[in-house]
Amino acid sequence: MNLLLVALLLQASLMLPPRTAMENPAAASAVPQKALKDYDKLWTRFVSATNDEKLAKDLDKFLQKQRTIDAVWVLQGYLALFKHDNGTARAKFTEALKVNPKNRIATYYLAEIAFADGDYARSAALYAELLSMGATIPEIETKRQRAFLLATDSLLSAAARAERENRLPEAEAYYRQALKIVPNEPTFHDRLADLLQKQNKTEEAAAERKIVEDLVPRRTAKPIVAEDAKRDDLEDLGRWGGDIGLFHQIRNAEAVTREQVALLIVRYFPQVTEFRQVPRIITDLQNSTVISEVQMVVAVGLMDPLPNRAFEPTSPITRGDLAKTLARLSRIIGLSGDQAAPVPAQDLAPTNALYSDIQLVLSSGLLTLGDAGSFNVSGSVSGAEAVNAVERLLHTFQQVQR
């Protein structure tokens, strides 16, 4: 597992807001009128945090008489979370879902606990369940992608290691587990087919290749052919999974767009979800397919909307704006080349507002000057150049972490 993912694991403990900021479970699942007065007293006592031991006993007594009120099970889960008892919290939230399978608060915290416990496949599935409920909690899609990344990366890395060590049945099992997470991903089926062929399981290999043939025409992004799949390393597959075709589309673009850069940032640096956020109003994301990623990079200050609050998601990003984004990300993850000697660029004066940002990315090797020695601030950026820049920044970050 790469060091960025290790860093994510270290950040996996549950971060809880103050009790006063916790959502009242009754907001997600109504409490019957006859029990509402007693419930409100219990909720007030939880928020005040005056005597949790007595509150726990009173909640148990309440549930002995009223076991079908899922809001009380959730309240018990809250109490366990603030005691840092994830096991008990998981049990309480699970009981809440037995009463009400659509309880979004219980589902959310079960997803968070699963992530903290390293059960990334379950975490991703629970976040997906939340989205299917129409959950409006910010960053759910980004959290789902982060859990998916960790789950698939772990399985694919284990598969590659087993294959290198000629433990082919074990490698096959890992690929099959990955396909349980993304059953319609042709690249995984294609790699499994190769592995089955190595084991002389000819009929099973042929069946997997037939699945690939059936799946590829249905892809909405640029279709994946076998050659594309074989060129992708396991880290790319773990990062993009079912969206690997979208990665190809970005990498092959003549001019990468602003929303594509936002997506690259979040996929390569999913820990941006943990950065301090200041939500901003953006007016033109109705047709964007990566709304959560754009909102995220804007909220953490990596990219800026225009003065009219538009983002222009499909507009090509300029070299100057990409340099600004990469420089801001470099600084926020603790990397800074500001002390490096300036790289002379014919079209860049020290008075330019982007001078320090461009110098940082030039000195870090994230972007380079053209043949004529110019940076071309207003020029476009190819997809390959953008991907290489983000990958180089990730590699630098990993080197520093060592």
Q: Is the pLDDT of residue 5 over 50?
A: no
Q: Are residues 97 and 10 in the same domain?
A: yes
Q: Are residues 191 and 268 in the same domain?
A: no
Domain count, the chain: 3
pTM for this predicted structure: 0.57
Question: How does residue 190 score in pLDDT terms, banded at 50, 70 and 90?
Answer: confident
Q: Is 185 left (phi over 0), alpha (psi -120 to 50) or beta?
A: beta
Q: Are 86 and 77 in contact, with CB atoms under 8 Å apart?
A: no
Q: Is the pLDDT of residue 220 over 60?
A: no
Range with the largest mean pLDDT of 74-78, 114-118, 170-174, 272-276:
74-78
Q: What is the dihedral of CA 237, 239, 245, 248, to 10 degrees?
A: -100
Kindly state the helix (H) or strand (E) to which residue 19 belongs, with its residue range: none
Q: Is the pLDDT of residue 230 over 90?
A: no
pLDDT for position 180:
83
Q: Is 103 a domain residue? A: yes
Question: How does residue 233 score in pLDDT terms, banded at 50, 70 and 90?
Answer: low
| Residue that finishes a domain, picked among 104, 136, 168 | 136
Question: CA of 9: how far to CAs of 270, 282, 288, in Å?
Answer: 12, 32, 30
pLDDT for position 163:
87
* Residues listed for the chain: 402
Least confident of 179-188, 194-203, 236-245: 236-245
Question: CA of 203: how far to CAs of 19, 177, 187, 206, 209, in Å?
Answer: 58, 20, 19, 5, 10
CA pair distance 20, 17, nearest whole angstrom: 8
Q: Is the pLDDT of residue 226 over 50?
A: no
Q: Which residues of 335-359 are buried (b: 16+ CB within 10 A; e: fewer)?
A: bebeeeeebebeebeeebebeebbb
| Residue that finishes a domain, picked among 114, 136, 158 | 136
Question: Can you give the CATH number for the domain in which 113 is found?
Answer: 1.25.40.10
For the chain, percent of residues with pLDDT exceeding 90: 50
pLDDT for position 340:
65
Q: Are residues 276 and 392 in the same domain?
A: yes
Q: Are residues 265 and 391 in the same domain?
A: yes
Q: Is 168 a domain residue? A: yes
CA pair distance 10, 1, nearest whole angstrom: 13
Domain that holds residue 267: 258-401
pLDDT for position 4:
41
CA pair distance 266, 9, nearest whole angstrom: 16
Q: Are residues 219 and 353 in the same domain?
A: no
User: Which of 89, 83, 80, 85 shows the shortest CA–CA distance to 108?
Assistant: 89
Q: Are residues 268 and 367 in the same domain?
A: yes
Q: Is 170 a domain residue? A: yes
pLDDT for position 117:
86
Structure tokens at 144: 């789902």
Q: Is 309 left (phi over 0), alpha (psi -120 to 50) or beta?
A: left
Q: Are 193 and 213 in contact, with CB atoms under 8 Å apart?
A: no
User: What are 68-102's pLDDT values in tens digits?
Assistant: 999 999 999 999 999 999 999 999 999 999 999 99
Q: Are 352 and 377 in contact, with CB atoms under 8 Å apart?
A: yes
User: Which of 265, 225, 263, 230 shows the shortest CA–CA distance to 245?
Assistant: 225
pLDDT for position 14:
72
Q: Are residues 387 and 313 in the same domain?
A: yes
pLDDT for position 9:
39
More confident residue, 184 or 286: 286
Q: Are residues 276 and 372 in the same domain?
A: yes
Q: Are 10 and 271 in contact, with CB atoms under 8 Å apart?
A: no
Q: Are 354 and 225 in contact, with CB atoms under 8 Å apart?
A: no
Q: Are residues 122 and 23 in the same domain?
A: yes
Q: Is the pLDDT of residue 353 over 70?
A: yes
Q: Are residues 132 and 157 in the same domain?
A: no
Q: Is 392 a domain residue? A: yes
What is the average per-residue pLDDT within 243-268? 91
Q: Are residues 386 and 269 in the same domain?
A: yes
Q: Is 211 a domain residue? A: yes
User: What are 10-65's pLDDT values in tens digits?
Assistant: 344 577 889 999 999 999 899 999 999 999 999 999 999 989 999 999 999 999 98
Q: Is the pLDDT of residue 159 over 70?
A: yes
Question: How does residue 227 score in pLDDT terms, banded at 50, 70 and 90?
Answer: very low
Q: Is 205 a domain residue? A: yes
Backbone angles phi, psi at 378, to 5 degrees: -90, 5
Got the DSSP string for 175-214? HHHHHHHSTT-HHHHHHHHHHHHHTT-HHHHHHHHHHHHH
Q: Are residues 212 and 322 in the same domain?
A: no
CA pair distance 368, 388, nearest whole angstrom: 11
Mean of all residue pLDDT scores within the chain: 85
Q: Is 246 a domain residue? A: no
Structure tokens at 288: 């964007």
User: What are 105-138's pLDDT values in tens digits?
Assistant: 999 999 999 988 888 888 988 988 988 887 666 5
- Give the 3-state secondary structure of residue 73: helix
Question: How does residue 157 score in pLDDT terms, banded at 50, 70 and 90?
Answer: confident
Q: Is 251 a domain residue? A: no
pLDDT for position 322:
97
Q: Is the pLDDT of residue 337 over 70?
A: no
pLDDT for position 240:
77
Query: Number of C-alpha atoms within 13 angstroms, CB side, residue 314?
Result: 6
